Amino acid sequence: MTEIERNAAVPADLSQIGNLNMEELWTAESTWEWLAHEEAFRHEHRALQRRRLVAESRVCSATQQLNPCLRKTGERILAAVNETCSDPT
């Protein structure tokens, strides 16, 4: 059990105070980054999960020339339009 999990399982006044180790920091950053990313691109993400094309009007101008796809982990990646995501590992 990680420090984060231990702290989440106890009342706030009893939780451990201190710095996170690198693994805990990485886990926290990855979690929050994923949640913020999913919130910002909710419609595109759902379409990609269903293997549907994302409507061009829903894609910001910076990514209109890119081909969004999902990795097996659920992480969004972008490939050039002429590339495919046939091996999104």
Q: State the CB neighbour count (10 A cutoff) for residue 86.
A: 7
**Residue 15 included in any domain:** no
pLDDT of residue 31: 77
Domain interval for residue 53: 21-89
Q: What is the pTM of this model?
A: 0.31
Q: Report the distance separating Cα 68 and Cα 70, nearest Å.
A: 7
Per the domain annotation, does 2 fall within a domain? no
What is residue 1's three-state secondary structure? Answer: coil
Residue 11 has a pLDDT of 66
Residues of the chain under the 50 pLDDT cut: 56-57, 61-66, 70-71, 80-84, 87-89
Contact 64, 58 (CB under 8 A): no
| Residue 50 covered by a domain | yes
